[in-house]
Amino acid sequence: DATYETVLVETHAGVGLIRLNRPKALNALSRQLIADLNAALDAFEADDAIGAIVLTGSEKAFAAGADIKEMQALGYVDVFLDDFVARWERLAAVRKPVVAAVAGFALGGGCELALMCDLVIAADNAKFGQPEITLGLMPGAGGTQRLARSVGKAKTMDMVLTGRMIDAAEAERIGLVSRVVPAAELVDQAIAAAQKIAGLSRPSVLMAKEAVNRAFESPLAEGIRTERRLFHSLFATEDAREGMAAFLDKRPAAFRNR
């Protein structure tokens, strides 16, 4: 596996694991960390042996947000010319499913990265928040948009305007996370969920992800049309023939991603 300065990568039978690794800064999302994350995502996205990705941090922090030390040095023209945080959107463009495994703090940009993932599995000690307002800033990596689409206006305004952190139970209740698990089982459970996905037919998995994401970007009728086209196109795959035949033969399906 490749080595990076601020992320660790591993593979687990069809699953690529990316671990954010700046422990002294609670995985604050520095320029270097985003570059490393993007390189690791590119590598797993290009690797045919990988069917799904897990993104995690440490037991104490998924990520405590953008690196405030780096941001402090930036003025308006700097962030404008650099298009600051545009590079963070790489995660949202990954076609393979990404499971976020969140323990500890997921704040600011850390919460926003989790919102770009497809499943969010939270440890019971996870804390989510958008505290940018307490810095005199506001969320800048999709927090006002993805959070509003995912949990609605009432909770988004509460989090974005007050900076209040919510715990794992509240995050699950409002629909920000998919599942809450004991902290000790977090990464194993996230890998298991990702392996389940990686063992399915890749064309159907990628199209299903694309269709669900379309729900957040288009009017209902447009989304339904997209779904119908993608659904129809899966009837052209060998895997759909195999999946249906296997069900009727009462045997496990052997998908070949074709």
The least CB distance from residue 68 to ligand CAA, in Å, is: 4
Burial 176-189 (b: 16+ CB within 10 A, else e): bbeebbebeebbeb
- Interatomic CA distance for residues 180 and 168, integer angstroms: 7
The least CB distance from residue 215 to ligand CAA, in Å, is: 24
Contacts to ligand CAA by CB under 6 A: 25-26, 28, 64-69, 85, 105, 107-109, 112, 131-132, 135, 137, 139-141, 143
- Point out the residues that are catalytic: 66, 109, 112, 132
Q: Would you state the structure tokens that stand for residue 237, as one six-digit string?
A: 């795959």
Q: Considering beta carbons, is residue 86 or 248 the nearer one to ligand CAA?
A: 86
The least CB distance from residue 65 to ligand CAA, in Å, is: 3
- Interatomic CA distance for residues 211 and 254, integer angstroms: 24
Q: Considering beta carbons, is residue 127 or 202 the nearer one to ligand CAA?
A: 127
Residue with the two structure tokens 């506001």: 138
- Interatomic CA distance for residues 248 and 104, integer angstroms: 45
Q: Considering beta carbons, is residue 11 or 134 the nearer one to ligand CAA?
A: 134
C-alpha atoms less than 13 angstroms from C-alpha of 10 in its C-beta half-sphere: 12
- Interatomic CA distance for residues 149 and 166, integer angstroms: 17
Q: Considering beta carbons, is residue 97 or 131 the nearer one to ligand CAA?
A: 131
The least CB distance from residue 43 to ligand CAA, in Å, is: 24
